[in-house]
Amino acid sequence: MAYALVVASEKEETEKGFSPFSKIKDMITAFLPARIHVSFREIDENLLLYIITMPLPEMFFLKNRRGRKRTLKKWAAVVKNNNIEHYLLEQPLKEYLNREWTMKPNGYLDESIRRNVHLLFSMEPLKGLEMRNMTITLSGIEKGFINPKLLNVLGNFKMVNVTASYNEMDGIWDEFMAETGVPVCITEDFGVLSRSDVWISYEEKEVDYPFDGIKVALSSKKITGCGLDKRYRIGYSLQRKLLKRIGAAVVQKFNPQILAEFLMFMVINRKEITISEAEELLGVKISIFPDEIQKYAFLT
């Protein structure tokens, strides 16, 4: 099983002017398959990522029917001969290629954020919060998302509200209160938001409830609220070691979030490792970005 990024070739320079020879050459070329280039990058030991270069749509459609058919046949042979099961297409190539890998609605980032909410408080705009004077509300949180690092952050707040019914997590919060002295209110009433400064919404479907504080909605990966000078979003940033492995020219051809999810899918399936291990291996990192930034930053 192999994985590939499929990119469009550079636009070819066309010869200016007209001659009988160039006309004949164009007629012959129209019958021939387009050039397809195959290379690979080593992501890890025994783990290769194929880079397949296909003709731009305008070059593909310059071919006649037979030339296009031969090009697609050549493409199918490349996929089969290299045992490529999943591939990601650069946007322009979707005009004539299909069956690419698609990202699931709840991807690796969704799972990783829920297990690593504590990381968000080490980044702007949450980094500078005066937590000692603030109340935080957690809604939709599950037992598997509660860990020592999250509890360490919560211990800095004045009070913690948990919108849930009394369940198996009660023991966790009892121990938390005993160790930190921070009171925890467990309730099913979202009305506690009127007395909260920060709201972390773990729900898979965003809860729409009036709130005047800072809301971190993990489903939409958005951070909004009163007092913030702008809107923020949560996503994967790609570190320079990944950029170096694959190449900047290739990386910049894809949506960074979809590319990160595709590479995570590849590594986790091939190496049989956890999400956190895959993030470390690849060099992808949970980050917060101003909402107006279209491209995710490359980190050093």
Query: Comparing 139-148, 171-180, 221-230, which segment has the lowest mean pLDDT?
Result: 221-230
Instruction: Please report the pLDDT score of residue 300 as a whole number.
Output: 43
From the list 110, 108, 163, 123, the residue with the least C-alpha distance to 278 is: 108
Half-sphere exposure of 101 (CA within 13 A, CB side): 21
Q: What is the mean pLDDT of residues 222-243?
A: 90
Q: What is the mean pLDDT of residues 286-292?
A: 90
Length of the chain: 300
Domain map (residue ranges) of the chain: 2-95, 110-229, 235-299
Rg from Cα positions in the chain: 25
Q: What is the mean pLDDT of residues 265-276?
A: 96
One of 2.130.10, 3.30.70, 3.30.720, 3.40.50 is the CATH number of 110-229, namely 3.40.50
Instruction: Please report the pLDDT score of residue 167 as a whole number.
Output: 72
